[in-house]
Structure formats: C-alpha cells, structure tokens
Amino acid sequence: MNGHSGYWDPLPAARAAADTPVPEAVPHLVLALPHPETYLTGRWEERNWRNVPGPFYGADTDNCWSGRMAAPGHVLYDDVTGQEFVYRQPKNAVEVDRLLFAAWTDPLSGYGWDGDQHWTADSVRSWWHERNRLRAWTAGLGTAWSAHSDESHREVTAGLSDLLTYLDGELETDLRVYLYWLQERRSPEPAEALPRL
C-alpha cells in the first residue's frame, strides 16, 4: 500500500455543476451557477505562481477578497495585488461547488480550469522543487498578518496556516497522484507505485 486513495478528476463535477444552486454561503439569493465556461476564463499565462498544480487556478482575479467566503479550504490571496489563488485542489463534488462559487463571484472571471492542458511532469516537479519559496512567503505573511487589527487579515492567517500544514503534509502525495494521472490519464490503483517528485 502506498498511502493514497487515487485521483479524483474534478472536471466532470465542474461541468455538471451548471444550474446548481449557489452554496448556502448566500442563502438569501435564489440563483444557480451558470456553465463554468462562462466564468472560468482565466488565462494560464496570467496565473499566480502560488497556485498548486491541478486543473483549477487563479489568474487575473479581482482583489475584493471574496473567494475565501465560499471556499476557505481552497482559496487564498496574495499580498501584492490581493488576487486569489488556489492552494488546494477540490477532491469531491461539494468542494468543486465551493470553488466554482468562489470563481463565479469574481467579477473579472479570472479563475481558470484548463490546468491539466498545461501542467507537465517536468513543470509539476519544478513547482515542487521551488516550494520553499511558497513556504517562506506563507510563513512571513502569516506572521505579519496574525497581529493585524483587521479581522479579515486574521482570518486569512488561518488559511495561511492551513497551507503550511498542507505543504508539509498531504501535498506531496497529492502531487504524486496527480503526476500519475497526468502521465497515464487514469487514477493509480492503491498498490501501484507513484512517480517521484
């Protein structure tokens, strides 16, 4: 056993999410999500370097800090422009819906979902080998914002702490499973060896 549960492709769930009622984060609205192609129009070339490898990413998003209201386990903000990025890819349909709602609330439609068409084994490994850059940024910002007087900054600090835990924990296995999927276009069986990062 290699300690992984395989790869769950979130894109079919994203395509099926059209006409899904918006999550309970905004209960007074009676709306449904449109088809993701209408708002997941972010450009790969503009993606934030902090995005973890996977199909979803934040690119030229707004800086209103709305993404964490819908998807706090997946979205964070950078401290330069305030733009949103995806720090954890969704692993089930509920998480996909949350991330889609975060993307839908972005008025610039700056989220993308075509990462699988761009990530390669080499680029995933390169991202992993440069992860200390993300760790240093996350730790530094967490320290700076933990004492901030604004409550929204302190809330983001909890997400930064979650990202650090993920970087030092499950992310390595998640990326190795993703690498397998990128190379084979199928989920690895639990007993199959995963590629090295």
10 Å CB burial of residue 197 (0-12, 13-18, 19+) is middle
At 140 the three-state DSSP class reads: helix
Cα-based distances in Å from 96 to 136, 171, 185: 28, 18, 20
Computed from CA positions of residues 136, 172, 93, 46, in that sequence, does the dihedral angle turn out positive or negative? Answer: positive
> To 10 degrees, the CA torsion angle through 53, 78, 73, 109?
-80
pLDDT at position 150 is 76
pLDDT at position 1 is 40
pLDDT at position 24 is 56
What pTM, to 2 d.p., does this model score?
Answer: 0.91
pLDDT tens-place values along the chain, 197 residues long: 456 788 999 999 999 988 777 655 455 555 778 899 999 999 999 999 999 999 999 999 998 888 999 999 999 999 888 899 999 999 999 999 999 999 999 999 999 999 999 999 999 999 999 999 999 999 998 888 888 777 777 888 899 999 999 999 999 999 999 999 999 999 999 889 999 99
187 Cβ neighbours under 8 A, 6+ residues apart:
6, 7, 8, 9, 177, 180, 181
45 Cβ neighbours under 8 A, 6+ residues apart:
59
pLDDT at position 23 is 58
Place of tokens 């006409």: 19
Residue type, 78: D
pLDDT at position 28 is 58
CA distance 162 to 159: 5
pLDDT at position 155 is 83
Computed from CA positions of residues 21, 65, 157, 53, in that sequence, does the dihedral angle turn out positive or negative? Answer: positive
134-149 burial code (b ≥16 CB/10 A, e <16): beebbeebbeebeeee
Computed from CA positions of residues 151, 66, 110, 87, in that sequence, does the dihedral angle turn out positive or negative? Answer: positive
Listed in order, strand segments (DSSP E) in 4-94 are 57-58, 75-77, 84-86
